[in-house]
Structure 1
């Protein structure tokens, strides 16, 4: 699959007292980028909820390389590296001025909303993954 990129600017609310991005905010940036990756494919989190489906993080491995700072312009990349009937594995990277700041491997599971049991991708997303 092709690489998708989403821009983010660092605001004061994203930083600690020293003006450095608080570590958990990288995960929020990555979540936003995955949501926008879906949106670019004419799917939304709300649309999936309406179908009785949720996408949940099953596993996450993250490596912090260097800090982002107040007012930095970041690029958050999303790349599907593997998929199965109900799981997606993404590689994501946060960069500033082309320099890597954070790398993550994120596994997402597709689950039914009420029982939270794994289910197959909806046909629209399955078709996208087959491309």
Structure 2
């Protein structure tokens, strides 16, 4: 699991100072990007290997609102990888309280042909290890 701490800025909120619903997806994206970095990968190196990671399916559950100036934590864990996809379990917390939960299926694709691609062995190993430590 990887954790990312974020501050909620005015640009993240609606007129009432509540995080706009679509911005939670941005937080999840940042969480998955930092999960990759934590495992020794980055988007550039994957692109150089002709690999792209794309959202295939998304399920969200909004529990409590995040507000302007809140300090929140995005927790990201990879599930057991399948041939071309993996489900990331993500949640956004504030002081130990669950604000948002997301399940995001990520597909591995060929970055030029946009067809499903098998996971690179090193990334597959990192996901498998993370899912086993759940």
Question: TM > 0.5 between the two?
Answer: yes
Structure 2: gaps of 5 or more residues: 130-134
2:62 to 64, 82, 86: 64
1:10 to 8, 11, 36: 8
Structure 2 counterpart SS, 1:83 = coil
8 Å contact kept, 2:77–2:88: yes
The 5-angstrom pairing of residues 104-119 of structure 1 reads: 104-119=102-117
- 1:33 and 2:23 are equivalent in the alignment: no
Partner of 1:49 in structure 2?
A: 47
Structure 1: gaps of 5 or more residues: none
- Computed over aligned residues only, the root mean square deviation of the Cα atoms, in angstroms, reads 1.0
1:83 to 81, 87, 99: 81
Structure 2 counterpart SS, 1:37 = helix
Q: Which runs of 4+ in 1 moved over 6 A?
A: none
In the TM superposition, residue 85 of structure 1 has moved relative to its aligned partner by 2.2
Task: Provide the aligned length of Structure 1 versus Structure 2.
Answer: 129
**Separation in 2, partners of 1:123, 1:80:** 15
TM-score, normalised via structure 2 length? 0.92
**Separation in 1, partners of 2:88, 2:110:** 21
**Separation in 2, partners of 1:108, 1:96:** 25
Q: Deviations over 1:15-44 (max 9, x none)?
A: 011111001111100100100000011100
